[in-house]
Structure 1
Amino acid sequence: MADIERDRFVALAFCRADLLFELDDDHDVVFAAGATSVLLGEAAEALSGRRFVDLIAESDRGLAVEVLEAARAQGRIDDVVVRLNGTGNRRPNVALAGYRVPDFDNHFFLALKMEPALQSERLSEAELKRDGESGLLDEASYAGLAAERAQSFRRAGGRPQITMVKVESLNEMTQALGASDRKRIMGEIGDILTRHSLGGGTAGRVGDEAFSYLHRDDVDPEEVSSLISDAARKLFNTEVKPHAHTLDADGAGLAEHQVARAIAHTIRSFSEKGDHALDKKKSLAQVLSGMVSDTIDNVAYIRRMVAGRDFDMAFMPICDLRLERVSHFEALTRPRDAKAGTSPYHLFSLAEEVGIVHELDMAIVETTIQTMNSLVRERGLMPPVAINLSGQSLSNPQFVEELTRMLRRSGMPPRKLMFELTESVKVEHLPEVNAVIQDLRRLGYRFCLDDFGSGAASFDYLNGLDVDIVKFDGPVVKRASSSQKGSDLLSSMTKMCASMGIRTVAEMVEDKRMAGRVYQCGVDFGQGYYFGKPDFNPFIFADRFMGGL
């Protein structure tokens, strides 16, 4: 009877899992069931007595150990993503969940489920990029992996922390060394940080003298810094001064999945600013605490701004270059009480980093339509308006459903609205996003690909997305007006777009000479201060509205 009951529970569990494991207190397999032959290359019975962590890919093995240890106290693991040590070169990603049950000799009961989305979202070990000298992850790879592992460790009940290390005098010391000796000390620093990082691989180089690592809260950063000093002294009889500051991977007001992203945003900000981030009057701790505090404060500000619709829309004219008349406007968000020095672009980038840009985009679309309806009632007909949308939002099915529903009940004719797809973050799933764009185009809404020419991804987007308009990035336009080579390049891109039936816009057109130059290159529309600055009242341009409104 007991075997029948067990088989029944196993069968029910497969509604949620592809693999089931029972582990003893030493993390050895007591029982296994499921698609073990397919995913692990061995029959379930053959796994009994094996160390569970040996079934995990080597790159995630350290993380698996740390998660299981953290779950000893927490008792629960919620969907931690790890790679399996599959057959051949297969390293499938699975979501691991389970419990530690005191009534069963403190055994762990684990369910592992294959998730199709996970297979493309996680970078493989080969895709992670490393610094050539230290062997540590580069800034971008580290920020992404630290975000992911911080989230996983929190789900297992652990308390992840992130430490930033500034090694003063490192550049001065290494400049006096040969290439091989420089690599030795960098490699030693890399080894020390890797050994003490969460899962044994969550450490990165984020600047010339700056490093960072994610770790458990029982790791002593001062001890790690001492090891770096000792290594420099032992290898080259010289002194370096590592200054470390540790941050909890936590943040007031942020959802679980946003906490790690906020930390990743701080890492990127620190990396981008480099030594400029280090005020000589402040310690590293003060600088980093300030950066994290700014991140958390700005996320809270975005949330308040969205909830209270605490922003206004300004309208920037986009003109037909031949007629120099207003074809349409771009709606630009103007927060009412943003901190000095905080640009709308920074707020949008942060919203994308922490995964709340869909909330901001929805509020902006709704506010723009309400503003347009109010203006039309008071002043009469006006040209169409383009609204910026993040590719991240268009990748969110819930956002798309809500957007479509809101557009239908708004009463705004589709020909009066268009959407500009921004390139601030990479669009990962072009076919899915293109399907959304085509659904909206069939309803009568036009789409513009913004910032074209700003990176190699532009041509991937143009190839993968069917749009009505392409807007050339400002630097592309400036080069076209300052050199023949730049002009020839813009002409070529314009002809390419025209051959596909796509109209074109040049932004940052500052004077009449630039307007004439881009017109000669075949561009259809221009945007920039030459045609007019953004204004809350679009009707100041009414004398230049195109006919047929």
Structure 2
Amino acid sequence: MKTTQINKSLIIIGESDLAYAETLVNCLTEQGYPNVAIAQDGHSIYQLLRPHYRQPEKVGALLVNENLPACQFHELCLSLACTPDAYAVPITILGTMRQSALAMQLGKQYEISQLNGMIHFLSQPVQLNELLSALRFQLAIKHERQQRLVNEALLSSELAERKVIDAKLKYLIAHDELTGLLNRQSFERHIATLIKRNQKLPKNGALLYLDIDRFSLINELEGYETGDRLLIEAVTQLRSFVTKANYLARIGSDEFCLYLDNVSQHDVRQFAESVRRALDDFKFFVENVVYNATISVGMAYLNSDKPIRHPSELIARARQACRLAKENGRNMCWEYNDNDSVLSKRHSDAYWTPLIRRALLESKFLLLYQPVVDLIQERISHYEVLLRMIGDDAGDIIGPAEFIPVAERMGLIHHVDAWVVENAIDFLATLPDFMGHVSLAVNLSSYAFQDQTLLTTIKDKLESTWVDPRRLMFEITETSAVDNFEQTRNMIVKIRALGCKFALDDFGAGFCSFSYLKKFPVDFIKIDGQFIQNLVDDETDQVLVKSIVEIAAKLGKKTIAEYVENAALVRKLQDIGIDLAQGYFFGSPSRTLQPSSTISIEALILNEHINYRGILNPFMR
């Protein structure tokens, strides 16, 4: 409260001599106290105070003559000046004759009030300066007491608010704000306690992982607020299944965990199915649109053969089972099984992914080269580039079947494709001039043509190494080409425009080959090995391969047979009219190239006939 506000408070002058009272009023007014009232007896004082009963802070002080008629000074001081609260009204008594009597009547309260400055005596005749000083002092004390009360009230309010905030923070630390369920951290603490208990006192227990199906679709169509409302209503449905022995938590956007304690596996299955049916019957209304909020449920058991030591292990198992429920059609329950093939594949992904990344960073990949032989001209047409990974153990070479599927699933295949392309071109660039005729066929993954940077990578690498694009061929499987026909075809056209060649690998495996073959801009057709391996004895394979050769010849494309491993098969391929062949009969994949591009097929056949490969050298300079 500012000084001007203090001066505006009511000052009551208790004086029966009206002329003297008005003198005091004029003096106080001149000193800046505009709100001064006169009471000519004790009753008038109470009449002036009565309007301010509910606003005692507006009464500043009382100046009372000790001889004021009908004034009970004992009662006046006791009710106004001696109250312990901040709204006590200070009293200055003009005259000292009543001091002793008042002290006796009030006793201890008188001493306290005097010490606090709430009761003050001025000797008669009163000096105006002394009166003004006493008034200022008492008003200042009253203001200080009022300010202290305000501060205490504010402090009390702040403390109360802080307690509410602290309580809310403690709640939010352990609970999800939207649904009021346990959050993941709090849920894991409860599960950790149960796991420790289970180690000493084994009990059956199960964790259900619940995931609302296609929740993101509702978010996208109706907005996040509607999605939140769906979550709240779905949780209301789930709460009806929860008892004091269960724990229900929200651990993700639309993912929940429910722990069931001391239940058999049969009961868990029935319980999970009941929850699933309840959500399946649940209808969620958005204006005139009705949504069915189904859930997928994964189940994992605490008392499994494989011991669980941390809550995250149990949650991970239930989550994997829930994922399988989604992959197998959604709106169903699925039990975790260590021997599940899909889970084994995920474990494989987790194992191989860091190894693939390290191989890319540290160049722990290896390129091998297998010759592809022209059966008519008896020379090596080109080499197929085959990718391997170098293992941690000395001499350990890992085949692509181990890591390529993982790279495709984990989004690393584009990096692997780029590594192979760049290193194959680098290899061509390092060959001496007398081997400038050597060309390579590089296998590209089924995802390669979805990578928009592939064309730029090939073009930039060819330009930086000065390698003739005609020495580079790319192989793509028929199935991957057909799956993304237009996109793949457009990319092939652009890469062939650089000067590179293309081969359609595993031709015949897609069962729809001929309808696409005439539209596909490739130079070679590599017949799938399943038609080649039994070609000598299987007449059906012979008919199919002959038809492929005839169609390829009509379209101006050359044919390549793979998995060629014996002389009889070579003879049959020559009879049918296959242009090129590849297989262990001509050479296994190697880190080095053959010393000559010319090869004697008769020498190879003779070597096989006498069962000794080293007698005749089939490679001639």
* Corresponding residue of 1:320: 374
The letter for the 2-side match of 1:360 is V
Farther-moved stretch of structure 1 (505-514 vs 481-490): 481-490
Q: 1:330 to 1:214 in 2, by over 3 A?
A: farther
1:494 aligns with 2:494: no
Does the CA contact (< 8 Å) of 1:430 and 1:464 recur in 2? no
1:309 aligns with 2:363: yes
Say which SS state the counterpart of residue 385 (structure 2) adopts: strand
Deviations along 1:335-363, whole A, 9 cap, x unmatched?
A: 11178795312322222233321111000
Mark the runs of 5 or more structure 1 residues left unpaired by the alignment. 1-24, 27-60, 68-79, 85-93, 109-152, 162-187, 201-212, 226-243, 251-259, 269-282
Deviations along 1:516-546, whole A, 9 cap, x unmatched?
A: 1012112100001111111111133445499
Does the CA contact (< 8 Å) of 2:479 and 2:510 recur in 1? no
Q: CA RMSD in A?
A: 4.7
Say which SS state the counterpart of residue 533 (structure 1) adopts: coil
| Aligned counterpart for 2:584 among listed residues 529, 532, 539 | 529
Does the CA contact (< 8 Å) of 2:503 and 2:523 recur in 1? yes
1:289-308 map, 5 Å: 291-308=345-362
* Corresponding residue of 1:429: 484
Does the CA contact (< 8 Å) of 2:385 and 2:443 recur in 1? yes
Deviation for aligned residue 1:193 = 11
Does the CA contact (< 8 Å) of 1:160 and 1:214 recur in 2? no
| Aligned counterpart for 2:400 among listed residues 325, 341, 344 | 344
Deviations along 1:196-218, whole A, 9 cap, x unmatched?
A: 89999xxxxxxxxxxxx9946xx
* Corresponding residue of 2:569: 514
Deviations along 1:241-284, whole A, 9 cap, x unmatched?
A: xxx9963768xxxxxxxxx9xx88xx99xxxxxxxxxxxxxx83
**C-alpha separation in 2, matches of 1:380 and 1:479:** 35
* Corresponding residue of 2:317: 247
* Corresponding residue of 2:423: 367
| Aligned counterpart for 1:483 among listed residues 532, 538, 549 | 538
Greater RCO, 1 or 2 (C-alpha within 8 Å, sep 6+): 1
**C-alpha separation in 1, matches of 2:480 and 2:562:** 20
* Corresponding residue of 1:456: 511
**C-alpha separation in 1, matches of 2:369 and 2:549:** 25
**C-alpha separation in 2, matches of 1:392 and 1:501:** 27
Q: 1:493 to 1:362 in 2, by over 3 A?
A: same
**C-alpha separation in 2, matches of 1:380 and 1:154:** 62
Deviations along 1:33-87, whole A, 9 cap, x unmatched?
A: xxxxxxxxxxxxxxxxxxxxxxxxxxxx9624xx3xxxxxxxxxxxx4x4x9xxx
Q: 1:371 to 1:96 in 2, by over 3 A?
A: farther
**C-alpha separation in 2, matches of 1:534 and 1:383:** 16
**C-alpha separation in 2, matches of 1:154 and 1:393:** 37
**C-alpha separation in 1, matches of 2:359 and 2:295:** 32
1:85-234 map, 5 Å: 99-100=224-225, 156=253, 158=255, 192=273, 195=276, 215=296, 220-222=299-301
* Corresponding residue of 2:412: 356
Deviation for aligned residue 1:367 = 1.0
Length-normalised TM-score, structure 1:
0.51
Farther-moved stretch of structure 1 (367-376 vs 441-450): 367-376
Deviation for aligned residue 1:291 = 4.7
Count of matched residue pairs: 332
Q: 1:382 to 1:503 in 2, by over 3 A?
A: same
Q: 1:406 to 1:247 in 2, by over 3 A?
A: farther
* Corresponding residue of 1:172: none
| Aligned counterpart for 1:398 among listed residues 453, 458, 465 | 453
Say which SS state the counterpart of residue 330 (structure 1) adopts: strand
Q: 1:331 to 1:431 in 2, by over 3 A?
A: same
Does the CA contact (< 8 Å) of 1:477 and 1:509 recur in 2? yes
Deviations along 1:7-54, whole A, 9 cap, x unmatched?
A: xxxxxxxxxxxxxxxxxx99xxxxxxxxxxxxxxxxxxxxxxxxxxxx
**C-alpha separation in 1, matches of 2:582 and 2:374:** 9
| Aligned counterpart for 1:442 among listed residues 497, 500, 508 | 497
Deviation for aligned residue 1:364 = 0.5
Farther-moved stretch of structure 1 (293-302 vs 443-452): 293-302
Deviations along 1:429-457, whole A, 9 cap, x unmatched?
A: 21121011011112211100001112325
Does the CA contact (< 8 Å) of 1:508 and 1:529 recur in 2? yes
Q: 1:399 to 1:193 in 2, by over 3 A?
A: farther
Larger Rg over CA atoms: 2
Deviations along 1:314-337, whole A, 9 cap, x unmatched?
A: 110001112321011101112111
The letter for the 1-side match of 2:213 is L
Q: 1:158 to 1:508 in 2, by over 3 A?
A: same
1:384 aligns with 2:439: yes
Deviation for aligned residue 1:503 = 0.7
**C-alpha separation in 1, matches of 2:399 and 2:554:** 37
Q: 1:406 to 1:215 in 2, by over 3 A?
A: farther
**C-alpha separation in 2, matches of 1:197 and 1:527:** 61
Does the CA contact (< 8 Å) of 2:213 and 2:295 recur in 1? no
**C-alpha separation in 2, matches of 1:97 and 1:534:** 58
Say which SS state the counterpart of residue 391 (structure 1) adopts: coil
Deviation for aligned residue 1:505 = 0.2
Farther-moved stretch of structure 1 (483-492 vs 445-454): 483-492
1:333 aligns with 2:421: no
The letter for the 2-side match of 1:452 is F
Does the CA contact (< 8 Å) of 1:395 and 1:432 recur in 2? yes
| Aligned counterpart for 1:472 among listed residues 517, 522, 527 | 527
Identity %: 25
Deviation for aligned residue 1:471 = 0.3
Deviation for aligned residue 1:509 = 0.8
**C-alpha separation in 2, matches of 1:512 and 1:413:** 35
Q: 1:380 to 1:400 in 2, by over 3 A?
A: closer
Q: 1:194 to 1:417 in 2, by over 3 A?
A: farther
Q: 1:288 to 1:490 in 2, by over 3 A?
A: closer
**C-alpha separation in 1, matches of 2:374 and 2:420:** 26
| Aligned counterpart for 1:63 among listed residues 193, 209, 213 | 213
1:410 aligns with 2:480: no
Does the CA contact (< 8 Å) of 1:494 and 1:504 recur in 2? yes
Say which SS state the counterpart of residue 483 (structure 2) adopts: coil
Does the CA contact (< 8 Å) of 1:506 and 1:526 recur in 2? yes
The letter for the 2-side match of 1:490 is V
**C-alpha separation in 2, matches of 1:519 and 1:475:** 18
The letter for the 2-side match of 1:470 is I
The letter for the 2-side match of 1:298 is W
Deviation for aligned residue 1:400 = 3.3
Say which SS state the counterpart of residue 352 (structure 1) adopts: helix
Does the CA contact (< 8 Å) of 2:366 and 2:389 recur in 1? yes
Q: 1:308 to 1:538 in 2, by over 3 A?
A: same
